Amino acid sequence: MILGVTLLVVLGTIVGAVLYGRAQSKAKSVEEWALGGRRMGTLIFWFLNAGEIYTTFAVLGISGFAWAYGAPAYLAFCSVSLSAAIGYWLMPKIWAAGRARALVTQADFFADHYRARWLGVVVAVVGIAALVVYVQIQITALGLILRMTLGTDVSPGMAAVLAAAAMLAFVFLAGLRSAAFAAGVKDVLMLVLVIALSATVAGIVGASSMADVYARAQDAFPGIGKLPGLKADSGLSTTWLMTSALNVALANWIFPHMFQLSYSAATEDAIRRNAIFQPIYSLSYFFIILLGLAALLAGTVPPDGDINAVLLQFVSDRYPPWLVGLLAGTACLLALVPGSVLLLTAGSIFARNVVAPLRPGLSERGGLLASRLSMVGAAAIAVYLTLGGNRSLVEIGLSAYGAIGLLAPGVFLAFVWPRTSAVAVAGGLVAGYALLVTPPGEAWIAANFIEWEPGLVAMGAALIVTVALSLIVPRRADAPGDLPLTPPLASQGETA
């Protein structure tokens, strides 16, 4: 029953998404495949944008975080709303630049704005690395679901390989429009499921209401409802919550796939309307955290103590098989849709900003081939990272935000300070990564910024170095012959 319902949900959605994508596509080009032809209206842009918020990180990660720590899961409430406020200002600017300059990737923006093709290559590598870490989240979650539906005889390694293969199959068949259709289906299904589970969970754990679940959790586990939550020595204090929420909000729109999402909008109004209403999604976290606390009250024990599997295990223990299958199928979509967009973005960047500069005459067909081969490589690396770690989805997500956030000074300063130079942006990246990933840098942050989110400290260091170097080496003036620095592939002009 569980496997049958899961397959029905997943395969039905994929077939519908592929058919929709092919019906809407006007040309087989990188721009159509990666940006939906820049024709995403308000409704479809809403689901695609929300699809990048409402992922396995949000549902499985936050519910598991609530089960393990309690109040630190409130991070989700803060970060979504702050991110939308920043997106209201930033995304239309990115959209305008992409429309005016026919940009396709984030690296295109850096190379074009800073008049430095080499910077585009550097940003491409940094962006792909961050995307691979984020793909790891989706593969980790999808692997858990596959083991639940196919049985624990499937090893974690095999589950991760199958998860990566499923994502690649979907993205090869689909494109951005197909992903947007699937995002709409999984968002509706997940919202209905979360609300339905929340409406019945009180009776399951012996509480009188949803509010009583919170009250009983507080009585049974004193301190769970306030920071630092269940584990006083975890470092998840008020300082951690504020700095982590700010880091997520500032870094969210810096992810390469969010750049391409901005480019895909048909109008500026579509972007702003979405930014206004996106914070409504943060209300769903009340129910997601509720389910995590209910699992704690019910004594749920996830397999191997994996906090990412808490919600799946709780529903599997307490609800009928058909509902377990519906949750498993919907959770598969929560991983497949964002994962496919992430791989699609990584492939677009590799083809345009790594291969194309080395092969100036690369054809549209050659670009698509390079893009798809690079996606296989990115998925393989993500599988390797999945097998080598056992962190919560929230921890993996924060590390991805920390890594990509080092590009934030280069993005924000591009729109507010014309003096910012390519050399300065690169110097900021070096300084930020020196703090974020080297043992001396990590030790310095831990000693001087106690309980701060390391990514925010590294972003601040990158900003300081970028500003200082821009004062010394300002951005060079535009010169005739500089343009275009990010030439479109062979048939790009025809598509536009």
Q: For residue range 179-202, what is the model confidence (pLDDT) as tens digits?
A: 777 877 888 888 889 889 999 999
Do 423 and 469 contact (CB within 8 A), yes or no? yes
CA distances for 482 relative to 51, 106, 417, 485, angstroms: 37, 19, 21, 7
pLDDT tens readout for residues 302-341: 988 889 999 999 999 999 999 999 999 999 988 888 888 8
Task: Give the Cα separation of 124 and 122 in Å (integer).
Answer: 5
Higher-pLDDT residue of 36, 101 = 101
Closest alpha carbon to 394 in 260, 258, 240, 286: 240
Architecture of domain 2-394: Up-down Bundle (1.20)
Q: How many residues does the chain have?
A: 496
Q: Looking at the predicted structure, is the pLDDT value of residue 491 above 70?
A: no
Task: Give the Cα separation of 129 and 123 in Å (integer).
Answer: 10
Q: Looking at the predicted structure, is the pLDDT value of residue 65 above 90?
A: yes
Q: Please state the rounded mean pLDDT for residues 95-120.
A: 93
**This model's pTM is above 0.85:** yes
> In this predicted structure, what is the pLDDT of residue 92?
94
Q: Looking at the predicted structure, is the pLDDT value of residue 482 above 70?
A: no
> In this predicted structure, what is the pLDDT of residue 255?
93
Task: Give the Cα separation of 185 and 9 in Å (integer).
Answer: 10
In this structure, what token pair is assigned to residue 455? 């990514």
Q: Give buried/exposed letters for 139-171 (b at 16+ CB in 10 A, else e).
A: bbbbbbbbbbbeeeeeebeebbbbbbebbbebb
Instruction: Tell the residue number behind the tokens 């395969």, with chain if given.
Output: 11
> In this predicted structure, what is the pLDDT of residue 96?
94
pLDDT tens readout for residues 11-26: 888 888 777 767 765 5
Confidence of residue 57 (pLDDT cuts 50, 70, 90): confident
CA distances for 24 relative to 274, 340, 387, 418, 458, angstroms: 22, 18, 38, 39, 42
Do 352 and 105 contact (CB within 8 A), yes or no? yes
Neighbours of 336 (CB within 10 A): 29
> In this predicted structure, what is the pLDDT of residue 490?
36
pLDDT tens readout for residues 413-460: 999 999 999 999 999 999 999 999 999 999 999 999 999 999 999 999
> In this predicted structure, what is the pLDDT of residue 483?
39
* Helix-helix angle 75-101:106-113, to 10 degrees: 60
Q: Please state the rounded mean pLDDT for residues 379-406.
A: 89
> In this predicted structure, what is the pLDDT of residue 150?
82
Fill in the DSSP letter of residue 332.
H
pLDDT tens readout for residues 456-475: 999 999 999 999 999 999 88
Q: Where are the domains of the chain?
A: 2-394, 417-476
Rg, the chain, Cα only: 22
Closest alpha carbon to 218 in 405, 400, 66: 66
Q: What are phi and psi of 265, to 5 degrees?
A: -65, 145
Residues 6+ apart with CB under 8 A from 163: 138, 139, 142, 143, 146, 335, 383
pLDDT tens readout for residues 343-392: 988 988 998 899 988 887 777 788 778 888 999 999 999 999 888 767 78
> In this predicted structure, what is the pLDDT of residue 371?
85
> In this predicted structure, what is the pLDDT of residue 18?
78
Mean pLDDT of the chain: 86
Confidence of residue 485 (pLDDT cuts 50, 70, 90): very low
Query: How many degrees, rounded to 5, is the angle at CA 74 between CA 88 and CA 53?
Result: 40
In this structure, what token pair is assigned to residue 66? 């609530």
pLDDT tens readout for residues 206-217: 999 999 999 999
Closest alpha carbon to 76 in 95, 60, 93, 99: 60
